[in-house]
Amino acid sequence: MESRSPSPTAVQPDPNSAAEKGAAEWLGGKGPPGAYRRGASSKDREGRVGLPDITVESLKELLDLIRKRAPEDEILRKAARVKIEDINKAIDDAEAANEKITEDEWGPVVTAARKLVGDARKKDATPANNAAIQAAQFEMEQRRYRSEATLNQEIGFVYEARVKVSSAESDKHRRKSQTLFIAMLVAQIGGVISSLALARQKKSALWLFAATAGLVALGFGGYVLMDF
């Protein structure tokens, strides 16, 4: 797209203000910098901004699977080997880096750019100048939003990884619970068999009642295990 940035005389930054000088460059089409994605080559990172790289190998592999939209079972198997502490640290680091870039570094420049645009429109209120300066501001904001969207998407991948780790942990506890339930059913079977044997040996209605209660419990347990 051909740049419609304003003429140099339209925007006049304060030479003693670093924020306004940067704002003038951004309005002229030289910023804000683009954002690179994690894992980008050193060449692709030149002149760009990005979030800290992930150093935990298991988490890196999980993020790669999420990016590639790998099968859910494969993702959950990998997620089961990631520590929640590593996930939380990665999120904290990413959020801090994103805030430093977008708020601490870019915030003053964006504010200064809006001021320069207002000043330029007051100085020259002709339709042509208004259109040019407004177009320059819109294009600057478009570039900024594109970079911020990339940074936010990179953070989103880590949040998605935390969801997968939590799901894998829940599945592990569910399997343990199911195994314990089956073990309890086996114990009930043993109790029923023993009760039936005693009922037959002693011809006691009490033991027969106990065996009947055990059979009902087994039937209920089998009903719970059925898939619907």
Is 7 inside any structural domain?
Answer: no
Q: Which domain holds residue 51?
A: 18-170
* Same domain, yes or no: 200 and 124: no
Is 4 inside any structural domain?
Answer: no
* Same domain, yes or no: 79 and 191: no
| Tokens linked to 87 | 């996930």
* Same domain, yes or no: 157 and 215: no
- Cα 208 to Cα 56, 196, 220: the distances in Å are 61, 6, 19
* Same domain, yes or no: 96 and 204: no
Please give the distance of CA 90 from its chain centroid, rounded to a whole number.
10
Query: What residue type is 72 in one-letter code?
Result: E
Number of domains in the chain: 2
pLDDT tens for the chain, 228 residues: list them: 444 454 444 678 888 889 999 999 999 889 899 999 988 898 999 999 999 999 899 999 999 999 889 999 899 989 888 998 999 999 999 999 999 999 999 999 999 999 999 888 888 878 888 888 889 999 999 999 999 999 999 999 999 999 998 887 776 666 666 677 677 767 766 766 666 666 666 666 655 666 666 666 666 666 655 654
pLDDT, position 154: 94
* Same domain, yes or no: 114 and 219: no
* Same domain, yes or no: 123 and 200: no
Is 191 inside any structural domain?
Answer: yes
pLDDT, position 1: 42
Is 8 inside any structural domain?
Answer: no
* Same domain, yes or no: 68 and 161: yes
**228: CB partners within 8 A, 6+ apart:** none
pLDDT, position 139: 93
Q: What are phi and psi of 217, to 5 degrees?
A: -65, -40
* Same domain, yes or no: 107 and 189: no
Burial class (CB in 10 A: 0-12, 13-18, 19+), 138: exposed
pLDDT, position 213: 65
If we measure between CA atoms, which residue out of 163, 113, 103, 158 comes closest to residue 133?
113
Single out the residue in 133, 150, 170 at which a domain terminates.
170
Single out the residue in 170, 196, 214 at which a domain terminates.
170
Single out the residue in 170, 193, 213 at which a domain terminates.
170
Query: What residue type is 219 in one-letter code?
Result: G
pLDDT, position 146: 95
State if pTM tops 0.85.
no
